[in-house]
Amino acid sequence: MVLLSVFELLRVRLIKAAGFTNSTPRYSQMVNTCNLQPRIDFCQTLIDSNNSLDNIIFTDESSVQLNNNRTTSYRPERSARTSIPKPKHPLKVHVWAGISRRGPTSISIFDGTKPGHYAHQDID
């Protein structure tokens, strides 16, 4: 059971009445300030030259890891903490794909590491 004080309850109601809500922040890629202007200049050059980006492939990769262990357990105050075994090297899968004006590349799914020359073979 969660008990709120009158002050906390009032604070929550005031926040909601003002049109606010709570949420956890999403993480996004941070752009270093020294790289910001060169990126803007590059984009402006593309716009000025009417570049249609026909010869550019945008790619991205991501890793998915099992055993993230973000489990929360609730227990009586004086009882022992729960122990969950964690592997030294958790299973991981990597996903890689790209897209261009001509359409998407095939999606590559692999485990471990992938040498760079494989990426060139996948694009061709």
Examine the pLDDT at 27 and tell me if it is beyond 60: yes
pLDDT band at 38 (very low <50, low <70, confident <90, very high): very high
Structural domain harbouring 102: 53-68+88-124
Task: Please check whether residue 116 lies inside any domain of the structure.
Answer: yes
The Cα 59–Cα 94 span in angstroms is 13
Task: Please check whether residue 16 lies inside any domain of the structure.
Answer: no
Please report the pLDDT score of residue 88 as a whole number: 80
For residue 2, the one-letter residue type is V
Q: Is the Cβ–Cβ distance between 65 and 91 less than 8 Å?
A: yes
Task: Please check whether residue 76 lies inside any domain of the structure.
Answer: no
Q: How many domains does the chain have?
A: 1
Task: Please check whether residue 82 lies inside any domain of the structure.
Answer: no
Mean pLDDT, to the nearest integer, of 92-111? 91
pLDDT band at 95 (very low <50, low <70, confident <90, very high): very high
Mean pLDDT, to the nearest integer, of 33-60? 90
Residue 118's closest CA among 100, 102, 101, 94?
Answer: 94
Examine the pLDDT at 33 and tell me if it is beyond 70: yes
Task: Please check whether residue 99 lies inside any domain of the structure.
Answer: yes
Please report the pLDDT score of residue 113 as a whole number: 59
For residue 65, the one-letter residue type is Q
